[in-house]
Amino acid sequence: MTLVAIILATLAAGIGSVWLAALLMRLGLGGRADSVGPQHLLSLAAGALLATAFMHLLPEAFESQAGAHDLFATLLVGLVFFFLLDKAELWHHGHEHSHPEPAPHDHAHGHGHAHSHTGHASQEGHGHAHHHHAPRAGGWAVLTGDSVHCFGDGILIASAFMADIRLGVIAAVSVLAHEVPHHMGDLVVLRQSSPNRQMAIIKVSLAGAVTALGGVVGYFLVGQLQDFLPYFLAVASSSFVYVALADLIPQLQKRLTARETIAQIAWLIAGMVIVTLVSGAAHAH
């Protein structure tokens, strides 16, 4: 039963986020550099990730027999690990693009696909603040990074499900929330390297489907290492916190009008409220 729930939730988060991103783009959300749509989605995703980590995953980990000191140490190591992973991706892409003529917004381009295992939604991914995407050959670099990143998301969702079905649903909703703006960016990049709109959606959907593979692997991995489940939850929390604070929120920290700032805060709170409502609904069932 748990495995079926994991597969359904990971498919919903992995592929559902791609289709939702495509739908929002078709409706014109995020199509322009000055569009506020992606900013709203970033705020929503940041709120959902932070609420999931601090209100659900960490409390669940601390209710176990594991010591608080060990769990905080795991959280710290996780944050440093994801920071180093980000650095490695930046360095790799910096090397990769050092010989061609420099692309505009080089840093944004470099950070664009630092998602790997962590669930980093990219600046390029969310942004549309940087709309000079340098096309890549066939977009395979985008899809490879996406697949690895989705596999990691699947493991994180499976870890949450193994602790509690309700926790798994909340984690899946949070992953879906932060994947939508990310996939909007991926679709923009792929459409520049290939004009075929449907093929771009299919390619990103296939990468998203890897989330289910990560979920199945996570189910058996965590099942074998049941005693380490609190630590898996702490690592999942560190991933969510890192993505929210190092990637999403810095993109929101720009000079805005009072009205835009209030809208940002409202969407951030909305992300937290959605996670709370999902938690309540899942608990009721």
Task: List, as one string, the DSSP characters of 197-247.
Answer: HHHHHHHHHHHHHHHHHHHHHHHHHHHHTGGGHHHHHHHHHHHHHHIIIII
Residue 43 falls inside a structural domain:
no
Highest mean pLDDT, choosing among 8-22, 116-130, 191-205: 8-22
pLDDT digits (tens, 9 = 90+) for 63-114: 888 889 999 999 999 999 988 887 876 675 555 444 443 333 333 333 333 3
Residue 33 falls inside a structural domain:
no
Residue 83 falls inside a structural domain:
yes
Residue 38 falls inside a structural domain:
no
Read off the pLDDT band of 125 (50, 70, 90). Answer: very low
- Tokens 């989605």, located at residue: 41
Residue 39 falls inside a structural domain:
no
Burial pattern 133-155, b for ≥16 Cβ within 10 A else e, equals bbebeebebbbebbbbbbbbbbb
Residue 212 falls inside a structural domain:
yes
Domain ranges, residue 225: 2-26+49-97+104-284
Is the entire prediction scored with pTM above 0.95? no
